[in-house]
Structure 1
Amino acid sequence: MTYQDIEALTIKKEGNSLEFKESTGQLDRSMETLCAFLNGEGGTILYGVKDDGKIIGQTVSDSTKRSIAEAVNRIEPFVDLEITYVAIPGTEKYVIVIFVEEQRFMRPFTYKGRAYQRIESTTTVMPQERYNHLLMERGGKYGWEAMINPDLKIADLDENAILGAVREGIRNGRLPETTIREEIPVILKKFRLLNDGKLNNAAAVLFGKELYDYPQCLLRMARFKGTTKEEFIDNQRAEGNIYELLDAAMAFFFKHLSLSGKINGLYREEELSIPYKALRESCINSFCHRSYHHPGSSVSIAIYDDRVEIRNTGTFPADLPIERLMEEHDSKPQNPIIANVLYKSKILESWGRGISTMVGECKRVGLPAPEINTDGNFVWVVFKYNRSSVVVTPQLPHSYPTATPQLKKVISVIGTATLSAKEIMEIMSLKDKTHFLDKYLYPAIEQGYVGQLHPENPKHPGQKYMLTSKGKALLNE
């Protein structure tokens, strides 16, 4: 930094990222401001400048430098600062400049044990709510996924989903065979989901059954007509754990993306307009690496005539710019506990190769590489394709029916029986009848999978439900 740079800065007014101090005699107060800059978008402090921007400078001795160093060391966590001593021409005085860049993934910072924030040109003590929010964003032991939910019980988790994850892990050599014989609490503890008998948020995200307390476990899906959001063709929402949401996402793709056929040797292979593996990898990344701490957040899928956009809350690590994502890089998951379980259960194929898989799959079929974007709050991936270039086949692969996880659950519970709504709810361990009817039973009836014993009188006191031929066919699949 030059003296001309100092002059240019002093023309500006103090604000969110700029502070003037007459001397390091105001060191303590200025460190509070520096802490606030670190908790914001970064900033610069100039010593030897009056509030009105007049440059007066100050003498700098070894004692001055030691005082600054000692004060900076009281900021936690440790951060590398840029300290510059700029000589004032024609004098023996200096302007001392301390500059800090934005440190999004290390916040919150404290000075002498207290956190500060900057509002316009004022530095204040940070409210506890804001401090807790930044702690969750930092991750690690403070991350949202690791936080204990004292109201969450093992009975609230889907035991079949837990054992299914274990079986996949054993089948693919990522878990020892003895794991399947262990009790559920032992498995959860090994997955780092259970500590001292208490479950964390990651357990609900991965294996929760009824997620009333987790509205962010949501997937929004839309098929738009044309290339804008002006008109819907289809609009769906799915709620559930990661495994259920991934199933729902892939079913939606198979419903709305054309299938083409190609001959490979003696066999005909079916291909989506965008490769299945690329879409699946993008969805897995969205569920695995998204920010969950905001209750109103979700993952969204938007299908247009020329592209597919998959969006989630979150951003990339500060030291991993977008341009490096296309290269081989180490994986730094936002939610390491969730990522570890997905890896062990073979949902997450390997560390740090998800994006290269997407790129490779798109190139394999002659599509451009996916575009990856972030604005610091959201990450979205854009897959471009040309619908006119595919040969459409009317049928869907039986392995990926368009039924939602909720619908498939109703069908599996009813099976070959004839049951009342109360009996179905008891088997599914559901207590909210309105939720059950709206999310499970009514959609199954409307789509023709479930029939009524008394269809002429839907409110018949002896009403019971059974699978239709369509429901039985899906059950067999």
Structure 2
Amino acid sequence: MKLETLDDIKNLITSDTETDNIEFKKTTGQLERGMETLCAFLNGEGGTVLFGVTDEGKIIGQDVAGKTKETIGEAISRLEPSVNVQIFYVPMPDSEKKVIALHVESARMERPFCYRGRPYMRIENVTTLMPQDKYNHLLIQRGGKYGWETMTNPDLKISDLDEHAILGAVRGGIRCGRLPEATIREDLPTILEKFNLLHDGKLNNASAVLFGSNFYYYPQCLLRLARFKGTTKDEFIDNQRITGNIYTLLDAAMAFFFKHLSLSGKIEGLYREEELEIPYKALRECCTNALCHRLYHRPGSSVGIAIYDDRVEIENSGTFPPDITMEKLLSGHNSEPQNQIIANVLYKSEVLESWGRGIGLMISECQRVGLPAPEFHTDGNSVWVIFRYTRKTVGYDPTVTRQSPDSHPTVAPQVEKVLSAIGEQTLSTKEIMGIIGLKDKSNFLELYLYPATRLNLVEPIYPENPKHPRQKYRLTDKGKELLKR
């Protein structure tokens, strides 16, 4: 920005009142308050503080001595972290007085800023102290060493991670073309380094969230599941608490939906096409976002799923990116993950969409079957999404089947069908689909086969090449044991 003439100042003052990025001060006698506001602008989208302008927007100028410039320089040095502040001394016509302008641009990557050790924020035309929760949120968003997911844990060992989950993520990435096939033949430290989870021999917090098997140090890797009777929280039908890595928790969440939501179906020829009361893809996308984008730095935080007779609510700790409005969130936006390392691994393993299309997918899937669009809410500390449904709103004439409780709390009935179909055999995808009675391959892979492989219940006979033309699947020892039970 260039402010060299009085006309530049007049063009900047568009009204006789202050705004969310313009502040008036009569003289530098109010420098302290002006600097607090400049700090608030830095924590927002930038702005300008003008000295020599009255509260009503009248330009009067002020005397500028050497001491004035020295005092301003000292005040700017008290901003933390250090930042570039543009200083303009604009002369008044026919006068020795000048208008002093202090201008800062947006500095998102360096936020939060403090002045004299205290953070400030701007609400409309008022400067106020920033609440601690917002300060912590901005601090977590700041990149590099300040991000919780990047912090190393010296007590964390590779043996504390789930090797099957790591290799499952690699196979998923190879299958979708986001990882080279040679990745599956590399050792675990090399894979973890490529995922940015291991640096100088030390594992970071993101590695535990993604692939951990021991959560003594990570109680926040928690999923709360509840099915309530009716439309209130007065009475439980089912109540579970599951600790695990993201892949485990995502599978547990989907199994819970299959256990407590009805399947609506229609018959096409010899085959039955099934769909949950709320579309599977919408629920899975919402759970993925909740697990990926939540704030993990609070040990007592978690993801919660509550199923009622008329709605499903999915809640996680955190908030939307501070610079994305609700309108922009719903109309399309660039992806700005809270946890870039976690999001990158989930993207490479084909779990997460990286282009900010998740919300659009949730909305379109609900609209496809005649359900209302999901509702998105935040209070600054948590985000929750509400899916409303009634059986009458499904898009086709349904025959509704209530899911019976499955034999294992984290295994969906669809996974059990895969185990039963394979048994002691080694079968191709087409053969398994034929036994179960399915014709939609993408539906079979997403709802049946991939969850079974992620749970290490089913394994491919060519794990190093998921796209092998003679690929077949068999039960693991874990899968055989579960089938016996």
Q: What is the TM-score when the length of structure 2 is the normalising length?
A: 0.67
- Matched residue type, 2:185: R
Aligned to 1:392: 400
Q: Which deviations, in whole Å up to 9, do the C-alpha atoms of 1:361-393 show, x marking residues without a partner?
A: 112211122112222222211111103555331
- For the structure 1 residues 191 and 476, does the alpha-carbon distance in structure 2 shift closer, same or farther, using more than 3 Å as the test? farther
SS of corresponding position for 1:5: coil
Q: Which deviations, in whole Å up to 9, do the C-alpha atoms of 1:418-443 show, x marking residues without a partner?
A: xxxxxxxxxxxxxxxxxxxxxxxxxx
**RMSD of aligned alpha carbons:** 4.9
Q: Is the 8 A contact 2:265 2:274 kept in 1?
A: yes
Aligned to 2:341: 337
Q: Which deviations, in whole Å up to 9, do the C-alpha atoms of 1:222-275 show, x marking residues without a partner?
A: 112222222222221111110111011111111111111112344211111000
Aligned to 1:362: 366
The 2-side partners of 1:70 and 1:247 are apart by 56
- 1:167 aligned to which of 167, 171, 174: 171
Aligned to 2:62: 59
- For the structure 1 residues 338 and 83, does the alpha-carbon distance in structure 2 shift closer, same or farther, using more than 3 Å as the test? farther
Q: Is the 8 A contact 2:119 2:135 kept in 1?
A: no
- For the structure 1 residues 366 and 26, does the alpha-carbon distance in structure 2 shift closer, same or farther, using more than 3 Å as the test? closer
2:376 is equivalent to residue 372 of structure 1: yes
SS of corresponding position for 1:293: coil
The 1-side partners of 2:213 and 2:355 are apart by 28
- For the structure 1 residues 181 and 2, does the alpha-carbon distance in structure 2 shift closer, same or farther, using more than 3 Å as the test? closer
Q: Which deviations, in whole Å up to 9, do the C-alpha atoms of 1:436-461 show, x marking residues without a partner?
A: xxxxxxxxxxxxxxxxxxxxxxxxxx
2:295 is equivalent to residue 281 of structure 1: no
The 2-side partners of 1:60 and 1:264 are apart by 85
Q: Is the 8 A contact 1:255 1:402 kept in 2?
A: no
- For the structure 1 residues 328 and 41, does the alpha-carbon distance in structure 2 shift closer, same or farther, using more than 3 Å as the test? closer
Aligned to 1:262: 266
Q: Is the 8 A contact 1:47 1:57 kept in 2?
A: no
Q: How high is the sequence identity, in percent, across the aligned residues?
A: 65
Aligned 1:99-248 pairs, distance under 5 A? 106-110=110-114, 115-117=117-119, 134-248=138-252
Q: Is the 8 A contact 1:310 1:380 kept in 2?
A: yes
- For the structure 1 residues 227 and 139, does the alpha-carbon distance in structure 2 shift closer, same or farther, using more than 3 Å as the test? farther
The 2-side partners of 1:279 and 1:204 are apart by 24
The 1-side partners of 2:355 and 2:407 are apart by 29
2:483 is equivalent to residue 475 of structure 1: yes
SS of corresponding position for 2:35: helix
Following superposition, the deviation at residue 210 of structure 1 comes to 1.2
Which moves more between the two structures, 17-26 or 149-158?
A: 17-26
- Matched residue type, 1:381: V
Q: Is the 8 A contact 1:139 1:335 kept in 2?
A: no
SS of corresponding position for 1:186: helix
The 1-side partners of 2:301 and 2:329 are apart by 24
Gaps of 5+ in 2: 1-12, 420-478
Aligned to 1:465: none
- For the structure 1 residues 331 and 77, does the alpha-carbon distance in structure 2 shift closer, same or farther, using more than 3 Å as the test? farther
SS of corresponding position for 1:283: helix
SS of corresponding position for 1:222: strand
Following superposition, the deviation at residue 149 of structure 1 comes to 1.2
2:31 is equivalent to residue 5 of structure 1: no
Aligned to 1:403: 409
- Matched residue type, 2:409: A
Following superposition, the deviation at residue 23 of structure 1 comes to 2.8
- 1:319 aligned to which of 318, 323, 345: 323
- For the structure 1 residues 395 and 228, does the alpha-carbon distance in structure 2 shift closer, same or farther, using more than 3 Å as the test? closer
Q: What is the TM-score when the length of structure 1 is the normalising length?
A: 0.68
The 1-side partners of 2:136 and 2:285 are apart by 32
SS of corresponding position for 1:170: helix
Following superposition, the deviation at residue 208 of structure 1 comes to 0.7
What is the total number of aligned residue pairs between the two structures? 397
The 2-side partners of 1:107 and 1:264 are apart by 56
Which moves more between the two structures, 155-164 or 309-318?
A: 309-318
Following superposition, the deviation at residue 99 of structure 1 comes to 9.7
SS of corresponding position for 1:338: helix
Between 1 and 2, higher relative CO (CA 8 Å, sep ≥ 6) is seen in 2
The 1-side partners of 2:354 and 2:186 are apart by 26
Aligned to 2:308: 304
Gaps of 5+ in 1: 10-16, 413-470
The 2-side partners of 1:71 and 1:254 are apart by 60
- For the structure 1 residues 24 and 263, does the alpha-carbon distance in structure 2 shift closer, same or farther, using more than 3 Å as the test? same
The 2-side partners of 1:290 and 1:123 are apart by 27
Q: Is the 8 A contact 1:77 1:110 kept in 2?
A: no
2:23 is equivalent to residue 23 of structure 1: no
The 2-side partners of 1:329 and 1:56 are apart by 40
SS of corresponding position for 2:241: strand
Aligned to 1:443: none
The 1-side partners of 2:101 and 2:381 are apart by 30
Following superposition, the deviation at residue 138 of structure 1 comes to 2.6
- For the structure 1 residues 301 and 79, does the alpha-carbon distance in structure 2 shift closer, same or farther, using more than 3 Å as the test? farther
Q: Is the 8 A contact 1:36 1:115 kept in 2?
A: no
Q: Is the 8 A contact 1:277 1:361 kept in 2?
A: yes
Following superposition, the deviation at residue 25 of structure 1 comes to 4.9
SS of corresponding position for 2:343: helix
- For the structure 1 residues 336 and 20, does the alpha-carbon distance in structure 2 shift closer, same or farther, using more than 3 Å as the test? same
